[in-house]
């Protein structure tokens, strides 16, 4: 039965989440804000997640369970979106938790300001690192201005988390924006960037209403073993990010363009080199040469030129070697003898304090 009078549709994609599903669902259902429909999308789980969902649905009429073949988190979110009937829609992760006023505060802001999108802050658990949005707060803005209001929208991961947002359902449905199902990494980033650029009214509140569980997130990119599809997925994600940035003319803004370049050099490059080191096949010089020549990196070094801000002269030397595609030198530094690596302690990657090891989820498939 569809709940056509629900104020908020809550979509939760679920894949083998039995260890934390009870706690997460309890936090959603015990909210004082009662006007929700909860769409639990069981994406081909092989554990007891599906049975747990049915157990909850038997006790609460607000719950609808969708069972589907495994297709990935984007596929599950799109399935939930298609079935949703509420005025607003939220996409939550099964292994996280929400503040007891999550829906009440987001809904109140959306209604008061007639918003297409409302963005809140979040807190990591168990580390209790609170993060208010870095966008301009308490101000209704069009989506492009909203994105530009963050000084470091890419490197601060401000576009990475769809779960801290509330969307106007009718507007989103009419925009034809959906999660890109061919993306296995960073699907939230592209969805958020595209939706914000289509929005006329976006609003941010500082309240940290979402609790992002970094302990349960064992599939974090920086902790994960070798992923054979990592490079292909990041290349595809970059093409979408670049496409939307160019179409909207965001790329014409200096701070946006340079921050995107810094993000790809400091974060994405580190992910890919780490993945090469985790590969069961020994890396070759030609592998690194191919990596260095990827469009996302040549675009990034072009955007930064010689003004890339580094923590040390050694890091700048590394950057220059990277910029000029000196792959043989880079290969020696990254994969050569330990003595060579210790002589060049660049720490180019992972020096950021911006949650880079928790920002992008990959499918738990």
Lowest model confidence (mean pLDDT) among 200-214, 262-276, 350-364:
350-364
Q: Once rounded to an integer, what is the mean pLDDT over residues 111-126?
A: 96
Q: Beta strands 117-125 and 165-168: pairing type?
A: antiparallel
Per-residue confidence (pLDDT) for residue 240, from 0 to 100: 97
Name, in order, each residue with C-beta under 8 angstroms of 121's C-beta and a sequence gap of 6 or more. Answer: 130, 131, 132, 133, 164, 205, 206, 207, 208, 209, 210
Is the per-residue pLDDT at 210 higher than 60? yes
Lowest model confidence (mean pLDDT) among 132-141, 196-205, 273-282:
273-282
Question: What is the reported pTM?
Answer: 0.89
Rounded percentage of the chain residues whose pLDDT exceeds 90: 80
Is the per-residue pLDDT at 270 higher than 80? yes
| Average pLDDT over all residues of the chain | 90
Is the per-residue pLDDT at 222 higher than 60? no
Q: Is the dihedral of CA 132, 160, 124, 19 positive or negative?
A: positive
Q: Is the dihedral of CA 170, 94, 159, 304 positive or negative?
A: negative
Greatest Cα pair distance in the chain: 66
**Tens digits of per-residue pLDDT, 141-200?**
999 999 999 999 999 999 999 999 999 999 999 998 999 999 988 999 999 999 999 999
Per-residue confidence (pLDDT) for residue 364, from 0 to 100: 36
Per-residue confidence (pLDDT) for residue 216, from 0 to 100: 57
**Tens digits of per-residue pLDDT, 302-318?**
999 998 888 888 889 99
Band the pLDDT of 354: cuts 50, 70, 90.
very low
């Amino acid at each position: 039965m569809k709940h056509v009078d629900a104020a908020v549709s809550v979509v939760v994609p679920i894949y083998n989440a039995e260890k934390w599903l009870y706690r997460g669902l309890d936090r959603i259902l015990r909210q004082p804000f009662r006007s929700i429909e909860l769409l639990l999308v069981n994406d081909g789980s092989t554990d007891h997640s599906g049975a747990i969902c049915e157990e909850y649905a038997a006790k609460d009429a607000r719950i609808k369970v969708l069972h589907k073949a495994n297709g990935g988190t984007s596929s599950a979110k799109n399935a939930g979106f298609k079935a949703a009937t509420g005025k607003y829609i939220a996409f939550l992760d099964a292994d996280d938790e929400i503040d007891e006023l999550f829906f009440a505060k987001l809904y109140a802001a959306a209604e008061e300001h007639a918003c297409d999108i409302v963005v809140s802050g979040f807190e990591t658990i168990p580390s209790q690192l609170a993060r208010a949005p870095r966008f301009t707060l308490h101000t209704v803005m069009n989506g492009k201005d909203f994105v530009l209001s963050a000084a470091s929208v890419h490197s601060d991961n401000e576009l990475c988390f769809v779960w801290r947002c509330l969307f106007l359902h009718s507007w989103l449905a009419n925009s034809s924006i959906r999660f890109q199902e061919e993306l296995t990494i960073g699907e939230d980033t592209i969805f958020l960037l595209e939706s914000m650029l289509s929005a006329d009214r976006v609003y941010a509140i500082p309240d940290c209403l979402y609790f992002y569980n970094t302990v349960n997130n064992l599939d974090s990119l920086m902790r994960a073993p070798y992923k054979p599809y990592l490079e292909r997925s990041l290349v595809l994600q970059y093409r979408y990010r670049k496409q939307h940035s160019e179409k909207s003319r965001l790329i014409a803004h200096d701070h946006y363009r340079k921050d995107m370049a810094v993000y790809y050099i400091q974060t994405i490059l580190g992910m890919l080199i780490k993945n090469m080191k985790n590969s069961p096949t020994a890396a070759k010089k030609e592998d690194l040469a191919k990596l260095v020549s990827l469009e996302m990196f040549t675009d990034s070094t072009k955007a930064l030129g010689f003004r890339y801000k580094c923590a040390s002269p050694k890091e700048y030397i590394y950057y220059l070697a990277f910029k000029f595609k000196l792959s043989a030198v880079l290969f020696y530094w990254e994969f050569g003898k330990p003595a060579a690596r210790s002589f060049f302690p660049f720490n180019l990657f992972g020096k950021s304090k911006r949650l880079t090891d928790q920002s992008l989820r990959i499918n738990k498939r």
